[in-house]
Copies of this chain bind each other. A is one copy, B any other.
Amino acid sequence: MERILQDLKVNIHNNIYLKDPESSNLGKKIVEFSILLIDEIGFDSFTFKKLGEKIGSNESSIYRYFENKHKLLLYLTSWYWGWLEYQLVFTTNSISDPSEKLRKTIEIVTRTTKEDSSFSHINEVLLNKIVINEYSKSYLTKEVDKENKEGYFSIYKRLVNRIKDVILEVDIRYPFPTSLASTITEGALHQHFLKDHFSSLTDCDEKTTPTIYFIDLVFNSLNNQKNG
């Protein structure tokens, strides 16, 4: 799997970028260092000018790859969800027992990324932190419907859909599989955020992980006689 992941190129909707950042050294540096800089100063203070200074390149050159920092965030988060999706598919497709498969699925989606899988220039640990802290900002905009129609969120949607399918494999009669899938995905990010900044709003910590919480939550709702 490690090898497969290393050779993998996440397929990102090509309207998100003006020029494919994977197609050049500068492009890769933009991606690599934008992750470091966004993690460091936050997306709100992040600018292409600062990024340019960081990589010894010019602001105007960065604009040839991405229209604006919003599109760059869409790129980074799409990459993250695509990467998670691959992990999900490769890890769970050999599991035949539906409950075991769901358990593993929840684990992959809700766990913290602990080590940089050395995927070339992309630091997945920091990218995971960025997704926790900034992902919501990519869709909480006035342009969300237009961008959704353009397909900018399709990888994320496909991921949530996969989770929904795994849920239904365990309990075909559960009435809210899609909402449960989106609750797990978004809720896990939220519990991680709370763990780091609002510990009084979560039971999760290093020991009681979001994974444990969500596995309990999900399996309590499935195969429950109340359904149907």
Contact = CB atoms under 8 A, between A and B. Distances in A.
A201 B182 contact: yes
A144 to B, nearest CB: 5
A182 B202 contact: yes
A interface SS class = helix
A83 interface: no
B178 A201 contact: yes
Interface residues of A, number: 50
Given A145-B197, A187-B186, A213 B134 contact: no
A192 to B, nearest CB: 11
Contacts of A220: 220-221, 224, 226
Interface in A116-164: 133-134, 136-137, 139-142, 144-145, 148, 153, 157, 160-161
* 10 A-B pairs with the lowest CB-CB distances in the bound complex, closest first: A42-B142, A220-B221, A136-B136, A179-B203, A176-B203, A182-B201, A178-B203, A179-B202, A220-B220, A176-B213
